[in-house]
Amino acid sequence: MPENWNEYSKGILKSKLAKNNVKLQDLVLALQAIGVNETYSSVSSKINRGTFSFTFFVQCMYALRIKNIHIDLEEK
C-alpha cells in the first residue's frame, strides 16, 4: 500500500504526461479545447499537490486522447 496517496496519484498522472511527451502548457490547452477552463497555475498546483479529483484525471486523459490506462496496484 502506498505510504502517501497524493504522491502516488501525482506520480501516475505525471508519468502519463511524460510518456506522451506532454508539457503542462500543452495539457492546459488540451483541457481548454474540451471546455475545461483551467489556468496553468491551477493545473500545476493540482498536479504538484496530488489532490486532484478522479474527474480531473479523466478529463486530462480524455483531453490527451489517452484511451487506455493501466494502474499497477501491486502490494509492497
Residue 71 lies in a domain: no
pTM of the model: 0.87
- Grid coordinates standing for 67? 484511451
Domain that holds residue 55: 5-63
What is d(CA 39, CA 36) in angstroms, rounded to the nearest whole number? Answer: 10
Per residue in 19-36, pLDDT (tens digit) is: 999 999 999 999 999 999
Residue 38 lies in a domain: yes
Q: If DSSP codes are grouped into helix, strand and coil, which group holds residue 72? A: coil
User: Which segments in the chain show pLDDT lower than 70?
Assistant: 75-76
Residue 74 lies in a domain: no
Count up the domains in the chain and report the number.
1
